[in-house]
Amino acid sequence: MQRMKSRMNGNRWAVAIVAVAALLMVKPIFAQDVSETRLADGIFMLEGQGGNMMLVATESHTVLVDAQFARMAEAIGAKVEALGSLPLSYLINTHFHGDHVGGNAYMSETLGATILAHANVLKRLADDTDFPREGLPTETLTDRHALDLGEYSLTLKHYPTAHTDGDIVIWVDGQNIVHVGDLYFVDRFPFVDLNSGGTVQGYIDAINSVLADADEHTQIIPGHGPLATATDYIRLRDMMIETREQLRAWHAAGADVDTMVATGLDEKWAEWTWNFINEERWIRTLFNDLQASH
């Protein structure tokens, strides 16, 4: 049975992008530690405060995917040096949100990284007058890109209109490891940034594309949450499809969005709510996406 709920109205959407990841954090703000999980020889998932990172270290190159917040930069740099080598060859940004690019300037100026991102990431960061110019990407891609690191090679692929308009995923070729950035929030309602080119269908399409290249042994680094598998990723896709179908049914029956929020989703999705994208905001995201597509 669906449940009736009372909701408090308020500033539902007036949340700055840089605050997104602050709400995502489960660690206290003063804990400046960076932990690693070894995925293969020289390949690690790194966790701290912000979006999950990936480090790929070979004899000739060290590549970091994403850079969390600026306040984490020195701790991240120390972890890079401990696990790989400096100077840092590349920093790859999966998209432009602050919890993934805050350390860009430090990685470039102090650690020597060339910053690589989708062209839309450069445009959005360049348009942000508060973002340090030293942290702007200096190399961009528009569709696919390959990086030869010696022992490993990386394949970068752009997914338009997904979480944002600048999302890329990074595969470690031959290792069955992929970093999908904020195209994955593990067992949580995802943040689809409708104001920055994101769409629900584009997000679902991106998941399906990644899954088409994955198998039961694929190690998936999500933007937020623990290391995952293809089976885990399917849960997110299926939730998005099922809850969107519920919204479409309500809409066809003539319900307005406030009625949808008051009615609420099926009880089985209760544990997917969290402090940034709670059930109400997920319903409103689905509704606004539906309105934009008509």
Residue type, 183: L
Confidence of residue 15 (pLDDT cuts 50, 70, 90): very low
Q: Are 163 and 182 in contact (CB under 8 A)?
A: yes
pLDDT tens per residue, range 225-244: 999 999 999 999 999 999 99
Q: Which of 129, 90, 126, 125 is nearest to 108 (CA)?
A: 90
Asked if pLDDT for residue 211 goes beyond 50, the answer is yes
Confidence of residue 7 (pLDDT cuts 50, 70, 90): very low
- Residue 293 is predicted with a pLDDT of 85
- Residue 124 is predicted with a pLDDT of 98
Q: Which of 165, 169, 214 is nearest to 194 (CA)?
A: 165
- What is the token pair recorded at 211? 């899954």
- What is the token pair recorded at 181? 């950035």
In 78-217, at which residue ranges do the beta strands (DSSP E only) sit?
A: 90-92, 114-118, 139-141, 144-148, 153-159, 167-172, 177-179
Mean local confidence (pLDDT), 53-78:
97
Q: Which of 93, 89, 258, 284 is nearest to 192 (CA)?
A: 284
Q: Are 104 and 122 in contact (CB under 8 A)?
A: no
Mean local confidence (pLDDT), 99-108:
98
Q: Which of 94, 102, 146 is nearest to 120 (CA)?
A: 94
- The reply to whether omega before 226 is within 30° of 0 (cis) is no
pLDDT tens per residue, range 34-62: 999 999 999 999 999 999 999 999 999 99
The whole-model pTM stands at 0.89
